[in-house]
């Protein structure tokens, strides 16, 4: 059969001519350049194709775990089950789906005695929140009080009303109480309107906030994030400080912006998703003054509330910086952000304690208790953020134990976790996620280092034992808390059994299944075995036997590397997939891209530190000079100074700084890939990488590049380079392996100028 002849294929082409005569008047911000430019898929560069188990439905979580650590381990099957169990818990939206059960086409009517009490509570809530509307129109209040919801044209008021009413009944009524059932049916009838979610309006924004914060019994983390995100989008659509907006409206929208900014940054940190409000908006919309926040009210801590709101506005700025450290491109800023957080916490504590001291003697017992509760919540916020920062930053990890212990010791002080009237009430998901982050970190540290200091381990166990009871008190607000209570109890039992040499035989230790505490509050028929596998798995007591593949790894407790368990499982940031996404060493945004897999391994097996950067290697590449001279071969030595580049996932790349000056030209580099196949000489075949700069402010325009490679004329800034990547082997740690181009590569037809 005749040969098809040389075939030239282009792969992974980036959008056409991003680099062509880029006219910019000022440097492109680093976060804009990196986030807006598509990157080469990293899974294609991490492992040889034959080693790729893929991410399709046929790949089990257990197989992906094996691939992540490079071999099998007798604990991995249990960990895979644990991961799948947590995925089921966090992605379960059955609570929200209950809203749509038994839908009604007409509003259900309630007794006027009940509705008038609900309206009074609704009016008080509007006054407390002080968002876009501090009171409802009289015709709306009259229709609500007389149970005539069908006469209210704007459904946003109905969503607010039913959300607040359901919140007031959540702790006092069972899940299937007929009254709550009818209220939630009315709430769904009001909410189930596409126009409400698509048409921006002030009432819709406030209704979305109320539904996310008050109808929490029917919420899930992802649903709450979606509602908050939609409210943020609507506010941006309406405008906040546009010159066309009158001063009173601008002032109100500014207050709502900062309220939403706290919610937006909270959910973004919990779920690892981009916030809706960027930091430029925070800078352009000034903080409201204390005079604007202070609204004197008899019998209420108005001075304290004004200062508390002001401090939470400032806290949202620190949360924004923290998000960019954890999920953005500013990992190196973590120590500075931690200092700003400590400064904020210290100053906020001083201000609020002084305000409380001045105002508490004038308050009734309930209002004074609300002040104390808010002060504890302030510390809760600070410790939550500090735990995330110190655990995630290698430089700060030695400091992580202090905020972790403070967080867990604070939990018993929240004796009652029923919804209280307080400014900026803490979201339920934050009350769940932050203690679990501290729990995971301390649990892992105790498990790893417990035998060396058994007394310290006992103290650590005492601290994490506060978490299940704490979660149990939150169960009335959302059934998810009850299910997590069972999971954390099993973690603690497992830790105790190992520390005190009482590991049970296979199949005796169990974790509640995803229906361990279902939304209906009923108990499961039987639990699913997770932490120690049952006989059906074919595994026995891990202390009794060990797989042949596992001899070099030993038991979990034998891994004494102090860097293990430095981070924690992100209880919320699971993508809902049945497989584990691949984690790329060297990616300084791996906390976002790896999702729950990296965090699970951090919690149970330890956060395996990335392998050391590869040693420099010298290869031969092709240089296409910007001065129009002939292309030629040049020796190039690799550098690992690539963390902030689009090519950082390769670990090291050829260093072109000798040819690209100033340093900004190196920072503004980009890459594209092409492949040569079926060439007359086999050494010509392979994958080639084009490196170029687009800094036309510093470098001359370069049109000196073969048209045959990409089928069109290309233009770059300064010299362009082509090097060859070895796809058949990888450096230690999975970094890219580079090889020299063939000495006569320029004779290939596609290289013709």
Domain's final residue, options 159, 191, 219: 219
So what's the pLDDT on residue 559?
Answer: 34
- Same-domain pairing of 470 and 402: no
Tell me, yes or no, whether 741 lies in a domain.
yes
CA distance 750 to 753: 8
Residue pLDDT, tens place only, 616-673 = 999 999 999 999 999 999 999 999 888 667 787 788 899 999 999 888 899 889 899 8
CA distance 454 to 429: 33
Say how many domains are in the chain.
4
- Cα within 13 Å of Cα(286), Cβ side: 6
Burial 130-148 (b: 16+ CB within 10 A, else e): bbbbeebeeebbebbbebe
- Same-domain pairing of 378 and 451: no
Among 258, 259, 242, smallest CA distance to 250 is for 242
Cβ burial of 434 (10 Å; 0-12, 13-18, 19+) is buried
- Same-domain pairing of 539 and 627: no
Domain's final residue, options 604, 637, 671: 604
- Same-domain pairing of 641 and 711: yes
Q: Which domain holds residue 585?
A: 443-604
- Same-domain pairing of 206 and 311: no
3-state secondary structure 13-71: CCCCCCCCCCCCCCCCCHHHHHHHCCCCCCHHHHCCHHHCCCCCCCCCHHHHHHHHHCC
Our CA angle for 494, 500, 501, nearest 5°, is 85
So what's the pLDDT on residue 2?
Answer: 43
3-state secondary structure 359-428: HHHHCCHHHHHHHHHHHHHHHHHHHHHHHHHHHHCHHHHHHCHHHHHHHHHHHHHCCCCCCCCCCCCCCH
Phi, psi for residue 514 in degrees, rounded to 5 = -65, -15
So what's the pLDDT on residue 205?
Answer: 95
Contacts of 683 (CB under 8 A, 6+ apart): 742
Task: Write the CA distances from 615 to 498, 641, 657, integer angstroms.
Answer: 40, 12, 18
- Same-domain pairing of 490 and 355: no
Q: At what angle do helices 302-326 and 334-359 cross, to 10 degrees?
A: 170
Q: Are 486 and 512 in contact (CB under 8 A)?
A: yes
DSSP E strand stretches across 627-715: 632-639, 653-654, 669-677, 686-693, 701-702
CA distance 295 to 292: 8
630 membership: H or E segment, kind and range: none
Tell me, yes or no, whether 240 lies in a domain.
no
Q: Which stretches in the chain have pLDDT values below 50?
A: 1-58, 502-609
- Same-domain pairing of 587 and 616: no
Tell me, yes or no, whether 280 lies in a domain.
no
Contacts of 268 (CB under 8 A, 6+ apart): 225, 274, 275, 323, 327
So what's the pLDDT on residue 545?
Answer: 33
- Same-domain pairing of 598 and 635: no
CA distance 212 to 221: 10
- Same-domain pairing of 550 and 637: no
CA distance 382 to 344: 9
Residue pLDDT, tens place only, 373-417 = 899 999 999 999 999 999 888 788 888 889 999 999 999 888 665
Q: What's 92's DSSP letter?
A: -
- Same-domain pairing of 631 and 584: no
Q: Are 603 and 565 in contact (CB under 8 A)?
A: yes
So what's the pLDDT on residue 137?
Answer: 93
- Same-domain pairing of 630 and 660: yes
Phi, psi for residue 404 in degrees, rounded to 5 = -65, -50
Tell me, yes or no, whether 628 lies in a domain.
yes
CA distance 653 to 639: 6
Tell me, yes or no, whether 256 lies in a domain.
no
> How many CB atoms lie under 10 A from the CB of residue 432?
23
Tell me, yes or no, whether 74 lies in a domain.
no
Tell me, yes or no, whether 78 lies in a domain.
no
Q: What's 649's DSSP letter?
A: G
Contacts of 564 (CB under 8 A, 6+ apart): 444, 448, 605, 606, 607, 608
Domain's final residue, options 558, 584, 604: 604
Q: Are 213 and 425 in contact (CB under 8 A)?
A: yes
- Same-domain pairing of 629 and 580: no
CA distance 655 to 723: 11
Q: Is 730 helix (H, G, I), strand (E, B) or coil?
A: coil
Tell me, yes or no, whether 99 lies in a domain.
yes
So what's the pLDDT on residue 416?
Answer: 62
3-state DSSP helix/strand/coil % of the chain, to nearest 5 = 50, 5, 40
CA distance 79 to 20: 49
Q: Is 325 helix (H, G, I), strand (E, B) or coil?
A: helix
For the chain, the maximum distance between any two Cα atoms, rounded to a whole number of angstroms, is: 97
Q: Is 549 helix (H, G, I), strand (E, B) or coil?
A: helix
- Cα within 13 Å of Cα(723), Cβ side: 27
C-alpha Rg value of the chain to the nearest Å: 29
């Amino acid at each position: 059969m005749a040969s098809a002849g040389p075939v030239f294929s282009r792969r992974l082409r980036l959008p056409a001519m991003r680099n062509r005569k880029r006219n910019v008047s000022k440097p492109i911000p680093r976060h804009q350049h990196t986030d807006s430019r598509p990157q080469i898929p990293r899974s294609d560069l991490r492992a040889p194709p034959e080693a790729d188990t893929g991410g399709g439905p046929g790949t089990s979580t257990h197989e992906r775990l094996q691939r992540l650590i490079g071999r099998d381990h007798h604990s991995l099957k249990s960990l895979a089950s644990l991961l799948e169990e947590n995925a089921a818990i966090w992605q379960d939206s059955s609570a929200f789906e209950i809203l749509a059960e038994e839908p009604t086409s007409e509003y259900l009517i309630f007794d006027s005695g009940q509705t008038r009490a609900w309206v009074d509570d609704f009016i008080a809530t509007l006054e407390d929140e002080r968002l876009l509307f501090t009171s409802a129109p009289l015709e709306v209040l009259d229709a609500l009080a007389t149970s005539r919801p069908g006469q209210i044209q704007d459904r946003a008021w109905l969503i607010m009303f039913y959300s607040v009413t359901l919140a007031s009944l959540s702790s006092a009524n069972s899940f299937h109480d007929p009254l709550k059932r009818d209220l939630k049916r009315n709430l769904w009838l009001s909410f189930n309107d596409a126009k409400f979610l698509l048409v921006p309006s002030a009432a819709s924004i406030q209704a979305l906030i109320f539904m996310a914060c008050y109808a929490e019994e029917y919420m899930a983390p992802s649903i709450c994030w979606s509602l908050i995100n939609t409210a943020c989008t609507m506010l941006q659509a309406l405008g906040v400080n546009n010159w066309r907006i009158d001063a009173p409206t601008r002032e109100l929208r500014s207050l709502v912006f900062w309220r939403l900014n706290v919610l937006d940054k909270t959910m973004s940190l919990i779920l690892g998703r981009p916030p809706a409000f960027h930091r430029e908006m925070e800078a352009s919309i000034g903080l409201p003054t204390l005079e604007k926040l202070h609204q004197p009210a008899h019998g209420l801590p108005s001075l304290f509330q004004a200062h508390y709101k002001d401090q939470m506005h400032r806290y949202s700025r620190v949360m924004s910086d923290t998000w960019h450290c954890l999920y953005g491109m500013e990992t190196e800023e973590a120590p500075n952000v931690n200092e700003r957080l400590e400064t904020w916490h210290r100053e906020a504590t001083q201000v609020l304690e002084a305000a409380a001291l001045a105002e508490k003697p004038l308050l009734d017992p309930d209002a004074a208790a609300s002040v104390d509760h808010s002060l504890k919540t302030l510390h809760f916020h600070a410790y939550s953020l500090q735990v995330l920062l110190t655990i995630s930053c290698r430089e700060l990890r030695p400091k992580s134990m202090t905020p972790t212990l403070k967080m867990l010791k604070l939990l018993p002080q929240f004796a009652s976790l029923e919804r209280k009237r307080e400014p900026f009430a803490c979201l339920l998901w934050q009350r769940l996620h932050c203690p679990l982050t501290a729990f995971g970190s301390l649990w892992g540290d105790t498990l790893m280092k417990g035998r060396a200091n058994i007394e310290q381990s006992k103290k650590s166990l005492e601290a994490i034992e506060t978490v299940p009871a704490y979660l149990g008190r939150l169960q009335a607000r959302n059934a998810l808390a009850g299910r997590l209570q069972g999971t954390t109890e099993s973690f603690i039992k497992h830790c105790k059994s190992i520390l005190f040499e009482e590991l049970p035989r296979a199949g005796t230790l169990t974790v509640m299944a995803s229906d361990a505490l279902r939304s209906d509050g009923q108990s499961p028929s039987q639990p699913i075995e997770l932490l120690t596998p049952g006989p059906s798995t074919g595994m026995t007591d891990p202390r009794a036997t060990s797989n042949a593949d596992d001899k070099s790894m030993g038991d979990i407790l034998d891994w004494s590397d102090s860097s293990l368990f430095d981070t924690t499982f992100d209880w919320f940031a699971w993508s809902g997939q049945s497989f584990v996404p691949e984690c790329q060493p060297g990616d300084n945004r791996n906390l976002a891209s790896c999702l729950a897999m990296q965090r699970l391994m951090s919690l149970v097996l330890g956060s395996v530190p990335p392998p050391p950067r590869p040693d420099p290697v010298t290869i031969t590449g092709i240089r296409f000079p910007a001065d129009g001279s002939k292309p030629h071969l040049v020796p190039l030595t690799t550098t690992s100074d690539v963390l902030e580049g689009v090519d950082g996932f390769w670990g090291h790349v050829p260093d072109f700084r000798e040819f690209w000056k100033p340093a900004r030209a190196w920072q503004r580099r980009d890459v594209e890939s092409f492949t040569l196949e079926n060439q007359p000489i086999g050494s010509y075949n392979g994958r080639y990488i084009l490196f170029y700069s687009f800094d036309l402010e510093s470098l001359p325009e370069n049109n000196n590049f073969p048209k045959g490679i990409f089928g069109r004329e290309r233009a770059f800034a300064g010299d362009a380079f082509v090097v060859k990547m070895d796809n058949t082997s990888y450096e230690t740690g999975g970094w890219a392996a580079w090889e020299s181009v063939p000495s006569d590569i320029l004779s290939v037809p596609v290289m013709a100028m």
